[in-house]
A and B are shown apart, each in its own frame.
Chain A
């Protein structure tokens, strides 16, 4: 059974710092991996999707990497801003038409 783990569960950093969020998964036979953002009381917003054949994807200040062999992905946020405060979830897709989510990292950027 595919399991997805995100550590730490919560992270607090000062504004302007670069930071890395981690995601690990147990089964490397995945189709793709996605990173989502969830604001309090809101739904999820897709940030980046990495296909299994890709190593990384970039969007603005965000960069996501994928290492299938080690079962790891990272989300790098450059020059963090208070507006980046949210919960970040990763999810992998392997089969059965579904995403398997990690429990998320709650990120707080302090002004």
Chain B
């Protein structure tokens, strides 16, 4: 199993450019999410999805779009990059949402380092 795969690993963008961070998982997980990690801020939820065709906003959704056309893929789109979006982005997946009482392991990708200049 590849687990959660993120591409690209590193990216430099100019202000105003758009791009898509790719996330794919091969574990048939229904729940997928995107976080950003910034120094002193911890990880913050951007968007999440509880299944194909269903997405919702997290804590910091502004400037980002997502879609979930398949169970496997959950791309994150930056519409018009800004320096404030310089961060490390993590995609995560699990079989059920983290609030499900039975609990289940959440798997993270290795991160995408994005710099906006």
Contact = CB atoms under 8 A, between A and B. Distances in A.
Interface of A: 4, 31-32, 34, 36, 41-46, 49, 51, 89, 91, 93-99, 101-104
Contacts of A94: 99
Contacts of B56: 97
Contact of B106 (A34, A41, A95): A34
Given A97-B50, A98-B59, A103-B41, A45 B108 contact: yes
A42 B98 contact: no
B111 A43 contact: yes
Contact of A32 (B44, B48, B50, B103): B103
B53 interface: no
A43 to B, nearest CB: 4
Which bracket fits the contact residues of B?
20 to 34
Contacts of A49: 103, 105
B75 interface: no
A95 to B, nearest CB: 6
Contacts of A104: 42
Contacts of B43: 44, 89, 91, 99, 101
Contacts, number: 67
A32 B41 CA distance: 21
Given A45-B108, A46-B106, A49-B103, 4 more contacts: A31-B101, A43-B108, A99-B45, A103-B40
A96 to B, nearest CB: 8
Nearest to A36: B108
A94 B107 CA distance: 19
Given A43-B4, A49-B105, A99 B110 contact: no
A1 to B, nearest CB: 10
Contacts of A99: 43, 45, 98, 106
B71 interface: no
B45 A98 contact: yes
The 8 closest A-B pairs by CB, nearest first: A43-B108, A44-B108, A101-B42, A101-B43, A93-B98, A98-B45, A103-B42, A97-B97
B97 A51 contact: no
B31 interface: yes
